[in-house]
Amino acid sequence: MDSTNPATNRPLESYEEHSPSKVDTMLGDAEAAFETWKHRPLADRERLLAAAADVLRANAREYAETMTRETGKPITQAEAEVEKCAWVCEHYAEHASAYLEPDHHPSPPGTTVKTVYEPLGPVLAVMPWNFPFWQVFRFAAPYLTAGNVGLLKHASNVPGCALAIEEVFREAGYPGGVFQTLLIPSDRVADVLADDRVEAATLTGSDRAGRAIASTAGEHLKKTVLELGGSDPYVVLADADLDAAASTGVWARNQNGGQSCIAAKRFIVVEAVYDAFLDRFVDAVESLVVGDPMDPETDVGPQARQDLLEGLHEQVRASVDAGATLVTGGEPLDREGVYYPPTVLTDVPEGCPVDTEEVFGPVAAVYRVEDEAAAVEKANDTAFGLGASVWTADRERGERLAGEVDAGCVYVNELVKSDPRVPFGGVGISGYGRELSEDGIKEFVNRKTVWLADEPDDGTVVE
């Protein structure tokens, strides 16, 4: 398993894959660890999670540099990612007890009825490379604290990140077997998921990968949570603050090199302000600094892999061939590394790749629509449903439109983002289930009903 620096396209390091026998041992370790970990007082698990936050902050620069070397993420964004991971650890360290407090229900006199939340067991997490620390910690922080144990199958191009995350939990004092990294290729995931010792799975990735995980999990009747791709609309109405909408929109599309499921991808602008918005947007796009991701002045680094750049460029070329207008960018940069410039397309024809597919790179499709109704119609003209952003000076109007846009989350006058305090997830082919907040920690628990009676009920119970 090899890692490559996309800023130079040169090899970084080679890692030995875990053999089937090694994986079998690790599954046994996870099963054994769960039998002890599930009985560990919740307060202890919270204290260990707070310690993980401390480890993250103490080694923030080291972890950020590992991310940048393996993915090309600009170093300032990598450092911010480590800090966000520490935040989610602190969030659940503070709130897990309240989230998992038993819920009491109405019951007959002399009885107590409640729902308690008990862990399921080993959970397999199949995670992507684009936010190689954050995606892992947003599953690990709640699920481990609920009493589950974790098995991480990370993307094959970020093995250094995968092992570093395992190190975080080890240095924080977690018992052996509670969190383990499996260095295996994707074609061995199905066998791990099918193993009787694995109770559930979560995946962040493409809809194709999600279908594969869901199929295997369904065959074995195992719970899954899937956060899949997105083609998020970014709706700009006539009364929007155009300066704010344009500057935020450029960041929403181009942070992390545009490689984000919740990046704004389809910019839908009403006719009355289309030209004014486009001028501001393109100026801001062209001012972005593309360069060495280790340079703190860099806004956009390389794409993560050569094959990803080639696929992105093919989407752009096919869309231009179909009639889209290339306003800026649109050609791989002639320099060392896997660099694609921030790109803007207009006059996007229906059915072309940037209109119907997820575009995982710094390419923005800008649409001109007649009015608010047409904007909502275009926003919903997609099989994806992860996030959406609506820009308007009228807060009530924004809230009304949030109810009309089909997505797992809608942000008004803000870019779409995940936040430990609120549930996160999608609809349609963007997946199902929720991460983060109280909903997230309760995804992989047994919601057990406990009925306590002082005396047996003399009545007849009918199911």
**pLDDT value for 277:** 99
In tens, the pLDDT along 377-387 reads 999 999 999 99
**Long-range pairs of 342-346 with CB within 8 A, sequence gap ≥ 24:** 342/250, 342/253, 342/254, 342/258, 342/285, 342/286, 342/288, 342/290, 342/300, 343/316, 344/281, 344/282, 344/285, 345/316, 345/319, 345/320, 346/278
User: Which residues lie closer than 8 Å to 166 by C-beta, 6 or more apart?
Assistant: 152, 179, 180, 181
What are the beta bridge partners of residue 290? 300
Active site residue 85: no
Give the per-residue pLDDT at 454.
86
Exactly one of 31, 46, 166, 227 is catalytic; name it. 227
Domain limits, CATH 3.40.605.10, in the chain: 2-228+426-450
Share of the chain above pLDDT 90, in %: 98
Percent of residues in the chain assigned helix, strand, coil, to nearest 5: 45, 20, 35
* 15-36: average pLDDT: 98
Give tens-digit pLDDT for 48-83: 999 999 999 999 999 999 999 999 999 999 999 999
pLDDT range class, residue 455, cuts 50, 70, 90: confident
pLDDT of residue 460: 54
Q: pLDDT value at position 457?
A: 64
Q: In the chain, where does the domain assigned CATH 3.40.309.10 lie? A: 232-412
Do 293 and 255 touch, CB atoms closer than 8 A? no
Under the banding of pLDDT at 50, 70 and 90, the label for residue 463 is low
Contact 286, 329 (CB under 8 A): no
Is this prediction's pTM over 0.85?
Answer: yes
The pLDDT, as a whole number, for residue 385 is 98
Looking up tokens 């002399």, which residue turns up? 110
Predicted local distance difference test score (pLDDT) of residue 456: 72
Q: Are 151 and 125 a contacting pair, CB within 8 Å?
A: yes
> CA 332: distance to chain centroid?
26
Residue 328 burial by Cβ neighbours in a 10 Å radius (0-12, 13-18, 19+): middle
Other CB atoms within a 10 A radius of the CB of residue 208 amount to 10
**pLDDT at residue 132 above 90?**
yes
Digit-coded pLDDT (tens) for 269-316: 999 999 999 999 999 999 999 999 999 999 999 999 999 999 999 999
Q: What pLDDT is attached to residue 23?
A: 98
Does the pLDDT of residue 459 top 80, yes or no? Answer: no
CATH number for the domain formed by residue range(s) 2-228+426-450: 3.40.605.10
404 flagged as catalytic? no
Residue 340 DSSP label: -
* Average pLDDT for the chain: 97
- Average pLDDT of span 403-410: 98
The answer to whether 169 touches 178, Cβ cutoff 8 Å, is yes
Arch. (CATH architecture) of 232-412: 3-Layer(aba) Sandwich (3.40)
Q: Which of 85, 89, 261, 409 is catalytic?
A: 261
Residue with tokens 């449903």, as numbered in its chain: 385
**Ordered alpha helix ranges (H), 287-420:** 306-321, 353-356, 372-379, 395-404
**H or E segment to which residue 112 belongs:** strand 111-119
Question: What is the pLDDT averaged over residues 37-43?
Answer: 98
